[in-house]
Amino acid sequence: MYEFWILITASLVATSCALVGSLLILRRMALLGDAISHSVLLGIVLVYLIFQQASIAWMLSGAVLVGLLTAWLSQFIHQKAPLAKDASLGLVFTWFFALAIVLIALYADHVHLDHEHVLFGEMAFIPFNPLIIDGQNFGPHAFWLAGLVLLINLIVLGIGYQRFKLTSFHPALATSLGIQTAVWHYLLMTLVSVTAVASFDVVGSILVVALMVIPAATAYLLAKSLKQIMLISVLYAQAAVLIGFGLAWWLDSALSASMAVAAGLLLLITLVVKTITKKN
């Protein structure tokens, strides 16, 4: 049962990451995803400090607020101050992340987080933190959070699929058709934040971006449509979870980092195979 809960939770998280990541790389916003996955930590720490607890609803709303703030603030600084887009993004997310680390150090007694958790997540401890309602054990907390976030992602992406597609490929056409591109942009940022917070317990705050970007980039090499990118990247993400689990077991290394490395290995293999088949 122990391995089962880890694998199923990681797989749910990886699926969410791959779906959101596909849209991110198509919109050339991979680095914004990186930034949000860092700054979400500040949201988590603030929620811990202000409410002294970490219920799923508070965690999600705190993360969404900080994630949207990151996207909005970096855009705002870029427009109002003499700074390039990437510089203002780097400024905002490093500052948020540094502030979160300082707060963790200052209030170490109140925040049940440490550097290790931020870096690696606590995948191996997922099964030890069960959701108990009325004395009944419903399985790990992280599993339900990951499931809920995947459900949110599926519903939003399912309903808005055509709009997301249009605003990603033809932003100018979308605007001329009267579609509010900004609304869809911030909706995607919301999904990124929600996904980052669900992934936090599982892969830590920094490796989230590996699961978002690497499977999607690999799929981008092979696919010919948005649907294909999403489908292939989800498949790659599942393979990365399984191979990474094996790697971690074999080398006695961290689960989260091993899964990210597995995703990278799959990208490498895909590149090699693609080069060979192209030459023949």
Partner 1 sequence: MSLWQDANFIWVLTGTLLLGVSAATIGGMAVLRQRALIGDVLAHAALPGIMMAFILFESTQPGLVVFSALLSSLLGYYAIQFLTQQTKIKTDTAMAVVLSLFFAVGLMLLSFIQNSTMENKSGLDKLLFGQAAAMNANDVNWLIVITLLALSYLVIVFHKLRLISFDPTYAQSLGLKVKRYELSFALVLVFTIVIGLQIVGVILMAAALLIPISIARFWSQSLPVLLWLAALFAMISALISTQLSMQIANMPTGPWMVVILGVLFALSWALRWALSRGWVSTKKHAQTAGNQADV
Q: How far is the CB of 39 from partner 1 (least distance, A)?
A: 12
Whole-number minimum distance, CB 31 to partner 1, in Å? 5
Does 23 help bind partner 1 (rule: CB under 8 A)?
Answer: no
> Applying CB under 8 A, which part among 4-12, 28-36, 60-68, 185-193 lies near partner 1?
28-36
Residue closer to partner 1 by CB (options 47, 100) is: 100
| DSSP state, residue 133 | E
CB-count exposure of residue 101 (10 Å: 0-12, 13-18, 19+): middle
Q: Which of 146, 157, 194, 214 binds partner 1 (CB under 8 A)?
A: 214
Taking the complex as a whole, the smallest distance from the CB of residue 264 to partner 1 amounts, in Å, to 4
- The interface with partner 1 within residues 66-125 (CB under 8 A) comprises 80-84, 86-91, 94-95, 97-99, 101-102, 105-106, 108, 115, 119-120
Whole-number Cα distances in Å, 57 to 68, 113, 198: 17, 18, 11
Does the protein bind partner 1 through residue 206 (CB under 8 A)?
Answer: yes
CB of 101 to partner 1, least distance (A): 4
Measured over the CA atoms of residue 118, residue 191, residue 60 and residue 3, the dihedral's sign is negative
As a whole number of angstroms, the distance between CA 33 and CA 26 comes to 12
Tokens found for residue 199: 């992934």
3-state secondary structure of 129: coil
Torsion sign over Cα 223, 228, 229, 232: negative
Residue 111 DSSP class: -
- What single-letter amino acid sits at 218? T
- Of the pair 26, 63, the CB lying nearest partner 1 is at 26
Number of residues that bind partner 1 (CB under 8 A): 56
- The residues, any chain, with a CB within 8 Å of residue 214's CB and separated by 6 or more, are 236, 240, 260, 263, 264, 266, 267
Taking residues 232 to 261 in sequence order and writing x for each that binds partner 1 by CB under 8 A, - otherwise, the string is ---------------x---xxxx-xxx-xx
CB 201 within 8 A of CB 145: yes
CB of 213 to partner 1, least distance (A): 4
Scan residues 129-188 and list those touching partner 1 (CB under 8 A). none
Binding site for partner 1 (CB under 8 A): 25, 28-31, 33-34, 38, 80-84, 86-91, 94-95, 97-99, 101-102, 105-106, 108, 115, 119-120, 206-207, 209-210, 213-214, 216-217, 220-221, 247, 251-254, 256-258, 260-261, 263-264, 267, 271
